[in-house]
Chains A and B, each alone.
Chain A
Amino acid sequence: MKQFDQLDELNQTFVSINHKVKLTEIEKNEVFGEIKKRMNDMPPKPTKNTVQWKYLLASVAVTLLLVVTVIPILTNSGKDFLGINDQNPSNSSSDSNLVVSDAKEEYLVVKIINNTDVDIPQLELNVYQNGELKATQGSMNADGSPVEIGDYFEFTFTKEELTGVTSLEAVIIDPIPNKGRALFSSEMITLTVTEDKEYVFEINGSPKSNVYLQSVEPDISIESNKKKETINTTIHKKENEIAAMVQENVTLGLRKEQVESLLGKNYHEGISNMDGREYWRYDFGNKDYQYPNDDGEIGDTKALMNGELQAQVLLYWDKEENLNAFSVLFQNQKDGKVYIYYVLSDKSSGKSEIQVE
């Protein structure tokens, strides 16, 4: 207001507010104490076995060179080449044991298919047990090229690292030369590792916003954290007719024209600030209702409470213009409370009460 008539004054206030909001010394020490404790509790980070691709390539080249030069020596033709007679037949067998190691360790393989909307240069997988980071492993293509959509990352863990109730978190790492790396973490997925088998997941969503892991197999031992919340979701007509109709008729994968035929053509369209997806918003309410926000993804709970709105529906579209996710905000006519019903792009759904201030 008056204080900000001059831009200089506004700039001064930006600087001063930065210095005012701060932690107390006690709080600083408390937070750091907790950081130190948790750093000490973390096991030493395992060596990444696939990230150093240059070394990997060099190792492969050296191994090939050795195989090419050593094998002829160990074989009969090698002996002929060196002019050595078959004086010690046991050498041959013991040497071949060096080439094909019999040291067998037990491994479990985790594959993560890139089902996001971009190619991913590098993925890191964090393994947590009892809330603590148990192991971290990176994976990328040996030639440094990104793993394309539909292709997969592979991680190999020892049985000791991956056993029992385990939570996995995928971190997309995007190398930016000289500037560090941008990190995008997936939501955590929890599974119970009971068998010696290959575990296959998809990484879904869009980096920089909502990225999550999902099991490819309908394995009952794997639970998405989100799905635990999905209970009692049915909306009855008596609660809210529009919301009940949306729940009954709107499904993921619908085309735009199908949604228009269900809900009409009176919608506001925009681009999501969260992840750049296109969205449509329907405001079902009084004719003179005016949406109050610049940001079209904010629910108008006030209008729902005062009866200006009966329901508000938000729909997100994927690049192929199929319905990717949606939610409906409504007032329950029975208890007067505001609820939201949502269906996310991973097909999980839920209904929650919204606390209206």
Chain B
Amino acid sequence: MDQHYRKEQIGEWYNAYNNDIYNYIYFLIGDHELAKDVLQDTFLRAYSNFESFQGDNVRGWLFRIARNLTIDYIRKKKPLLFLVDSFPIIHATEPNPEQIAMLNEAEQELYMGLSKLKRAYRDVIILRKIKEFSISETADILGWTENKVKVNLFRGIKALRKELEKGAYRHETV
């Protein structure tokens, strides 16, 4: 495979998907600088594994790499079995000021509500609702069955609505 072509292709993919992948990672880990690092590593991994991309869904492939790199990072940083702050590293009482400041009240509440959910729910809600992947694409990225995606999405939305109704994070900040 021609190296020049490969680099050009990575450049095109980066232009097309950089924000899409950046904010996906950000929703997973809640850390701007770290999300930038993982974004960078995602495209470098895509470059070094270029030949392994066989399909036509490059967006899904890049998201799968991004998710695996994010989990790798968390595993490396937290090989402790007990998660001491819910994955991701979001502290619901301490929103990242730069990124959150630009959100309106409803969006901030949604962000905080998401951070309170268990990982499986958050995973599926981010991909299906925020990133708008199909059920089949979401199943591919997460390595789940489509049925599992549907069940977790249903339960996740229910749990999210409950969190939003509780508004617990608001009171904690006071």
Contacts and interface: CB of A to CB of B under 8 A. Distances in A.
Interface of A: 1, 3-4, 9-11, 13-18, 20-23, 27-28, 31-32, 34-36, 38-39, 42, 44-45, 48, 124, 126, 133, 136, 171, 173, 175-176, 178-185, 187, 208-210, 226, 273-274, 293-295, 297-299, 301, 312, 314, 316, 325-327, 329, 340, 342, 344, 350, 352, 354, 357
B83 A298 contact: yes
A342 B80 contact: yes
Interface in B53-91: 53-58, 60-61, 64-65, 68-69, 71-72, 75-76, 79-86, 91
B49 A327 contact: no
Contacts of B69: 185
Give the secondary structure class of A's interface. Answer: mixed
Contacts of A36: 7, 11
A183 B52 contact: yes
Contact of A3 (B47, B91, B94, B109): B109
Given A23-B36, A185-B72, A176 B80 contact: no
Given A45-B48, A340-B82, A31 B40 contact: yes
B48 A133 contact: yes
A295 B156 CA distance: 13
B93 A357 contact: yes
17 contacts: A1-B109, A1-B164, A3-B106, A20-B103, A22-B22, A35-B43, A36-B7, A42-B48, A184-B68, A185-B68, A210-B75, A226-B79, A293-B118, A295-B118, A295-B119, A298-B83, A316-B81
Contacts of A354: 84
Contacts of A342: 79-82
Contacts of A39: 7, 10, 44, 47
B82 A171 contact: no
A259 B27 CA distance: 38
Contact of B131 (A10, A18, A20): A18
Given A4-B161, A23-B18, A39-B7, A326 B81 contact: yes
Nearest to B24: A18
Residue from A27, A31, A35, A208 with most neighbouring chain B CB atoms (10 Å): A35
Range of interface residues on B (Cβ < 8 Å): 35 or more
B140 interface: yes
A14 B130 contact: yes
Interface in B7-53: 7, 10-11, 14, 18-19, 22-23, 26-27, 36, 39-40, 43-45, 47-49, 51-53
Interface string B101-128: 0111111011100000111100001000
Nearest to A208: B143
A170 to B, nearest CB: 12
Contacts of B132: 15, 18
Contacts of B47: 35, 39, 42
Contacts of A352: 80
Contact of A32 (B18, B94, B119): B18
Contacts of B125: 14
Contact of A179 (B23, B60, B93, B102): B60
B80 to A, nearest CB: 5
A210 to B, nearest CB: 5
A327 B80 contact: yes
A180 B40 contact: no
Nearest to A205: B75
Contacts of B82: 297-299, 312, 314, 327, 329, 340, 342
Given A1-B164, A36-B7, A185-B68, A301 B18 contact: no
A62 to B, nearest CB: 24
A357 B94 contact: yes
A183 B61 CA distance: 9
Given A27-B36, A187-B75, A17 B107 contact: yes
A13 B132 CA distance: 13
A340 B80 contact: yes
Contacts of B58: 180
